[in-house]
Amino acid sequence: MPRDSVDKPAHIEDKLFINGEFVPSISGKKFEILDPTTDEVAASVYEAGVEDVDRAVEAAENAFPAWSELPASERAAYMLKLADALEDVVPEIGYMDAVTMGKPYVGSPVTHHSIQNLRYLAGQARDVFGETSLSTPGKLALSLRQPFGVCAAIIPWNGPLMMLINKVGAALVAGNTLVLKSSEKAPFTALIVARLCKQIGLPPGVLNILSGYGTSCGEALAKHMRVRRISFTGSVATGKLIQKASAESNLKKVALELGGKNPMLVFDDADVTLAARGATMATLINTGQGCILTTRIYVHSKIVDGFVEELKKGVAAAGEPGDPLVPGTRRGPQADQTQLRRVVGLIEDGRRNNYDIALGGKGRIGDKGCYVEPTIFVNVPEDAKVMREEVFGPVVCVTTFTDEADVIRRANDTEFGLYASVFTKDLSRAVRVAKAFEAGLVGVNCTSPAGLSEDLAFGGWKQSGSGRENGRRAVEAWTEEKSIMISL
């Protein structure tokens, strides 16, 4: 079935969204986004610069007083309207994700999950509370939680809607106004959301959306003196730059969701089929382009041969990668040539070092598009690049262990601490290992992304980030605490 069997949107928005209107950038510059399947231009979009950031921040400042004083239930009502409107554009979002970052068109379940998360965040509108105390004689002590004011968010390309919802939903329900920069690799989902915000009557300036590059637009947001909080999802290197920019400007609060090098432990009593199925999903979903996906698998030596065979079967059953716009495609290309070179480079490094390869190892598939052959390395040294660095591709390393304490040490021997998982039928061991993992998220007999829920906090330890999204305190994280003493 050809790719033109999927309808292209009648109109692809290319402007910035500032103060409730779609406007070109002040410079008039545009940049192109290439389709990673065809290497051809998918669309172009206006590029926001420093002056556009200033315009967006000013619009957010002007909107903040009225928005923050709006009853929380009314702010939540806008988010519920937005969620309903999103249901009608799932095919459009699927199309734009396919032609900009190679996500298969059938990936709409992730879109529906994101919409449900927006409804969950809206439900927290009434759940932000302060405290009172009468412990000081003659005084009433109380605390309030109030919005920061103008905030900023920078989202990545590998999950445009999900990351946008996590930040926009919580920030706006809390009473903040927001300037959001989308990824230059996948800016169109955010612009679809902007159109819907206009459609549902969201007050101008409450949400402003900019398309642009990190070195200009993103840096300007991170350094802006009138932005009070910034939330970023992306690489460790960029996260450090944002933290530095905050320190060198106004010490704005910073929340970071960064990379991962996530371990999975499979003990000898585990359900091997279940574990291999989870590993297959965590290797191939989104073509391996996810910070929470599993890339280091430690399997007990007694069952490793059977596990590797099951993993190979699972990867082979997923079939060859294909055009993400063709119905039935389960795996598309990497997002762009930069991602392709990175993943292929790590595979080639493994070949140069003669690491054992159980499956794949060829690197790039074909000479058109950004396709990579899934690769399973076996018994790779702990200091290998492919064991230490985030891959962001369909590459996984399987190695063996015999001792619980030793494998926990090896699993934790990384500067990342985002996700970890353990497969075992021993409940005591499962709890013991889960507590020992140095990670913000843990799956027991499940692995990422299946081992996630919007009502649990999401975030990492160590260099995987700071702060949390989702969970019952997701909205509260976008507020500041104020203590008040009243003389009676």
Structure tokens at 386: 């492919």
Structure tokens at 58: 């000013």
Structure tokens at 483: 């203590």
DSSP at 394:
S
**Of these residues, 13, 184, 219, 257, which one is catalytic?**
257
Give the DSSP H or E segment for 56. Answer: helix 50-69
Number of H helices, E strands in the chain: 14, 22
Q: Which of 94, 77, 343, 112 is nearest to 202 (CA)?
A: 77
DSSP at 7:
P
- Write down the residue that tokens 């003389």 correspond to: 487
> How far is residue 84's CA from residue 94's CA, in Å, rounded to a whole number?
17
What is the rounded (10 degree) CA torsion for 116, 120, 121, 125?
140
> How far is residue 150's CA from residue 275's CA, in Å, rounded to a whole number?
45
For β-strands 419-423 and 441-444, DSSP reports them as parallel
> How far is residue 227's CA from residue 464's CA, in Å, rounded to a whole number?
23
> How far is residue 100's CA from residue 343's CA, in Å, rounded to a whole number?
18
Amino acid at 246: S
Q: Which of 388, 17, 477 is nearest to 205 (CA)?
A: 17
Structure tokens at 222: 């991170």
For β-strands 479-487 and 139-147, DSSP reports them as antiparallel
> How far is residue 245's CA from residue 217's CA, in Å, rounded to a whole number?
13
Contact between 205 and 60 under an 8 Å Cβ cutoff? The reply is yes
Residue 247 has phi, psi (to 5 degrees) of: -65, -35
Q: Tell me, yes or no, if 257 is annotated catalytic.
A: yes
> How far is residue 270's CA from residue 248's CA, in Å, rounded to a whole number?
50
Contact between 166 and 117 under an 8 Å Cβ cutoff? The reply is yes
Q: Is 373 helix (H, G, I), strand (E, B) or coil?
A: coil
Residue 140 has phi, psi (to 5 degrees) of: -115, 115
Any idea which residues carry the catalytic annotation?
A: 257
